[in-house]
Structure 1
Amino acid sequence: MTRDDARVAEKVTIPYPRRWAALGVLVGSMLLLAIDGTVLYLAVPSLTADLAPSSTQVLWIGDVYALALAGLLVTTGTLADRFGRKRVLLAGTAAFGVASALAAFAPSAEALIAARLLLGVAGATIMPSTLSIIRNTFPDRAERTRAIAIWSAASGGGMALGPLVGGALLENFWWGSVFLINVPVVLVFLVSGALLLPESRDPRPGRFDLLSAALSMTAIVPLVYSVKHAIGSGVDVQAVVAVLVGVASGALFVRRQRRLDTPLIDVSLFANKAFSGAVLANVVAIFALTGLLFFFSQYLQLVRGLGPLSAGLVELPTTIASILVVAVVGVLVARLGTGRAVAAGLLFGALGLALIAAAEGADHHLWLVLALLPLGLGVGVAMTLTVDAVVSAVPTHRAGAASAIAETAYELGGALGIALLGSGVTLFYRASLDLPVDVPDPVRAAVEDSLASAVNSVGPDSALGHAAREAFTAAMQVTSLVAAGITVIAALIAWRTIPSGRKTGTATTTWTKE
């Protein structure tokens, strides 16, 4: 231990006395962000009728939020370590409220995409702070695992709860209400956060590297953009250039991190198979859940004919299963060990995806409801344990940077889920369409663009509307099975790379109250 490390350790006395009350604020903030990530899904049909976005714009409306988060989390996590996690969290929460108001009254698809981008930027300042404050506030490993399980339940449950909240609002108000509801909630969190949260920061943050921050963004954003562009417009020069920019930026970012004394991301951590396996498992778990929910909400309304609130209620089992994780995760780790428990969670999630593919062709909604239970439970278990493994891998003074890795995995999984699985649904939908040759070109273009566009153009009860619904159902089934296969592969990797031995011990931490 160095002399500086000894001085930091000497400051440790007792855990923060109001840590469970502070956890309530942090969980509330995370729940708000998670709900906002999916609350829009049920609003897609109504905003499509109002703003008339193209299929590509619909994907960007859903994806740009998570994409901005994924691109900025590394940078904002480091800034939180430097300037204070509580301070950065409260500033981001205030900005989130402003961006929500702008999204609520967006007059066009382009304006809504821009507002969602601002929401992502604001959210990126909140997410790493929540997890790093937990890391610092709960020095005891057992307490921290329980706290992260509750945090993960808010993350996974919030994603599933979003459609229910959106459905309740859309039954009575216009689509902008799913954003406007954030404003009073933000005000509550600003007051409670100022009173209850402890302040903490890295005592030796080092120099902030602006070039690394830029490279981290240009490594992620172009890659996701290239996938979306290739699916929508085919593989062309623009898509290839985006891939090259992303890969080159990623290589330069890794090379630079290896040379810096205080890197944005300690890339040497990825040499550890357990760490890399945990990050990969986290990405895939969120990839499967978010990618499915984005189009599942549209399926329930446009194919099954449910109203927004009824569709949200059908998705409620995912929320319930995510909450049950808090009760079962400790038992699973005790009996199976971390690695096997993560693998079991991912396999259970894959089973849920396969069941959803089968249930989408069934007549009764009950089968859909039952299929969502293993998906929510499996993803919740995998996410809780992988986040705990990532955050526990570093000293407390680097909690923000480690949290940024965990959160980047979370948001990158969400962004890739919508981009890849969402684009896959669009691709399979168009391939499954069997339209008569005499369909006029404008009508054909509308039907081929998306199911929402088809329903708005030709009506849900017409022959073309029926063909579009059949094609969308087939596309959802194929995509769910693809996601299940990817999740099985991730389960095997987690089983082979993440140790299953039990870990004990208490980490040291420093906190100050402001």
Structure 2
Amino acid sequence: MTDASRSAPRSAGGTLAVAAAGTALVLVAFTAPLATLPATAAAVHAGPGGQAWILSGMSVGCAAGLLGAGALGDDHGRRRTLLAGVLLLAAASLLGAAAPDALVLIVARILQGLGGAAILACSLGLIGHVYPDGPQRARATGIWGAALGAGVAAGPFLALGLQAVGGWRVLYVATALAALLLCVAGRVWLPASPPARRRPVDVAGTVLLGLGLAVVLAGLVQGRTGWTGPLTLGLFTAGLLLVAGFVVVEHRRADAMFDLTLLGRRDFTAALVAALAAGAGVLSLASFTPIIVERGLGGSALAGVAAMLAWSGLSALTPLAAGRLSRWITPRGQLVAGLLGCAAGQLALMGLHPHSPVARLLPGLLLAGAANGVLNAALGRQAVSSVPADRTAMGSGANNTARYLGSAIGLALVTVLISHGTTPPAVLAGWNHAVLATAACSLAGALIVLFTRDRATTVPGPARRRLEPAAQAS
């Protein structure tokens, strides 16, 4: 029985509600350990390396699964794939709640990432399916972008509150229960999105890319404890070889999961570059705000989370108004403006010293948060508007893969710069260097997007196909 035979048509509003709620839930699960890491690490006996994996395991799972989940959704049903991801998130969260040691918890975090990948890719793909390009889609992707910020804002606060009630494991139980409720809502409200043509599953491409990205990200995580160690170098080498194998396979396959000819499109490439720059820039820097407040400025854990809320809160609010910008500014212009605003906010976070008040962070965080919200809305729209209409989940998966890969690179960079010292002055000196490095990523992304130009598609062989995108959005 197909998705279509089981599902009656549902309202676009119901689809948007489930898509936004699922996106927010994934980001809650992603950011919550930032607030409960000390208690979690003590309970599962995790050292510095284990703690890095607890924080980054979900990124590894997401990056490994996003593009494959998007392609699977486009080819075999976005509703079905999203609901499978929700159930995997629920099961992985229960495993995390029962984890007896660090290894099991890390496995649970990676599995949470794989489930979250299906949700993120197919939620935006479903929005692209039910909303036509134009003001309606701009508004819907703005709400989806707001859900990203809302999840980031709510995660640490929920984690602290639930930890106070019953310990850090309660958050994982609550995540599982929320996922099960979301699954019920999805079965009721999500429409079927039957593929225009059912492609065979690209097993080789899915495995090569998923493993390749997972191994590269594993190298970035492992590198935080030493960049020249044989394990770190081996992971990078193996990951790059797997990704190279993926390119070769996709180049030769007629029904590839990722159409290489899309890289010849300005709007698609610009969106990938912007997502990568956002991850390596503002996302990685803002994620360290609670740590800097505690270790550099001597504030409490609650003060650190509250400071981060200044960034994530505005990231949740500005996308709601960003849809109106599409009347006056092109999507590419919004990407450039968002990245420049993020860079300006990041640079405003420089110059901290041990006697700086926590409030000193607020102007920069507020500016970066507002710009990041505009950027999220534009990225959500471009992810589905820059690909053919039957590949919207794949487009979402590719865009979010770039975001998570950039975030992993940025987090590794910021960690190295900050961890050079243990005293507050040394930590803050590392922070100031990290601000410059991540702001450079945002500025570089803005310049590349600004000067990206269409080029002729010259990919030979079976990968060549005529592209008929849903809209010429740039």
TM range (shorter): 0.7 to 0.9
Q: 1:172 to 1:292 in 2, by over 3 A?
A: farther
Match status 1:178 vs 2:162:
no
SS at match of 1:50: helix
- Equivalence for 1:235: 228
- Equivalence for 2:29: 36
Higher mean displacement: 366-375 or 295-304: 295-304
Q: 1:214 to 1:155 in 2, by over 3 A?
A: same
1:116 & 1:368 partners in 2: Cα distance? 30
Quick check: 1:396–1:507 contact (8 Å CA) kept in 2?
A: yes
Quick check: 1:278–1:498 contact (8 Å CA) kept in 2?
A: no
**Deviations for 1:120-179, whole angstroms, at most 9, x for unmatched residues?**
122222221101111101124221111111101111332233222223333443122232
2:318 to 305, 312, 325: 325
- How many matched pairs? 450
1:388 & 1:148 partners in 2: Cα distance? 6
- Equivalence for 1:384: 377
Match status 1:350 vs 2:340:
no
1:271 & 1:140 partners in 2: Cα distance? 21
Give unmatched runs, 5+ long, in structure 1: 1-10, 434-466, 500-505, 509-514
1:265 to 250, 258, 265: 258
How do 1:348-427 and structure 2 match up within 5 A?
348-359=341-352, 361=354, 363-422=356-415, 424-425=416-417
Give unmatched runs, 5+ long, in structure 2: 455-468
AA aligned opposite 1:204: R
Higher mean displacement: 26-35 or 51-60: 51-60
- Equivalence for 1:18: 11
AA aligned opposite 1:257: E
Quick check: 2:32–2:156 contact (8 Å CA) kept in 1?
A: yes
Match status 1:245 vs 2:227:
no
Higher mean displacement: 488-497 or 218-227: 218-227
Q: 1:359 to 1:25 in 2, by over 3 A?
A: farther
AA aligned opposite 1:349: C
AA aligned opposite 1:26: A
Greater C-alpha Rg: 1
How do 1:126-137 and structure 2 match up within 5 A?
126-137=119-130
1:85 to 54, 58, 78: 78
Quick check: 2:271–2:379 contact (8 Å CA) kept in 1?
A: yes
- Equivalence for 1:65: 58
- Equivalence for 1:490: 445
AA aligned opposite 1:123: G
- Residue 401 of structure 1 deviates from its aligned partner by 1.8
AA aligned opposite 2:419: Y
**Deviations for 1:202-253, whole angstroms, at most 9, x for unmatched residues?**
1312221211111102321232233333442231443333333222222221
- Residue 305 of structure 1 deviates from its aligned partner by 4.4
**Deviations for 1:33-79, whole angstroms, at most 9, x for unmatched residues?**
01111111011122233334222221111111111111111222222
- Equivalence for 2:91: 98
- Residue 472 of structure 1 deviates from its aligned partner by 2.3
SS at match of 2:99: coil
- Residue 94 of structure 1 deviates from its aligned partner by 1.8
SS at match of 2:198: coil
2:399 & 2:353 partners in 1: Cα distance? 32
- Residue 346 of structure 1 deviates from its aligned partner by 0.7
**Deviations for 1:316-362, whole angstroms, at most 9, x for unmatched residues?**
22233113323442344433432232112111111221222335655
- Equivalence for 2:431: 476
**Deviations for 1:461-488, whole angstroms, at most 9, x for unmatched residues?**
xxxxxx3x33222222221221111111
CA RMSD of aligned residues (A): 2.4
Quick check: 2:50–2:102 contact (8 Å CA) kept in 1?
A: yes
Quick check: 1:168–1:308 contact (8 Å CA) kept in 2?
A: no
Match status 1:163 vs 2:153:
no
1:360 & 1:94 partners in 2: Cα distance? 46
- Equivalence for 2:40: 47
TM-score w.r.t. the length of structure 1 is: 0.81
- Residue 490 of structure 1 deviates from its aligned partner by 0.8
Q: 1:290 to 1:318 in 2, by over 3 A?
A: same
- Equivalence for 2:419: 429
**Deviations for 1:388-410, whole angstroms, at most 9, x for unmatched residues?**
22311222222222222122123
Quick check: 1:163–1:315 contact (8 Å CA) kept in 2?
A: no
AA aligned opposite 2:177: P
1:485 & 1:285 partners in 2: Cα distance? 11
2:143 & 2:430 partners in 1: Cα distance? 34
1:112 & 1:293 partners in 2: Cα distance? 25
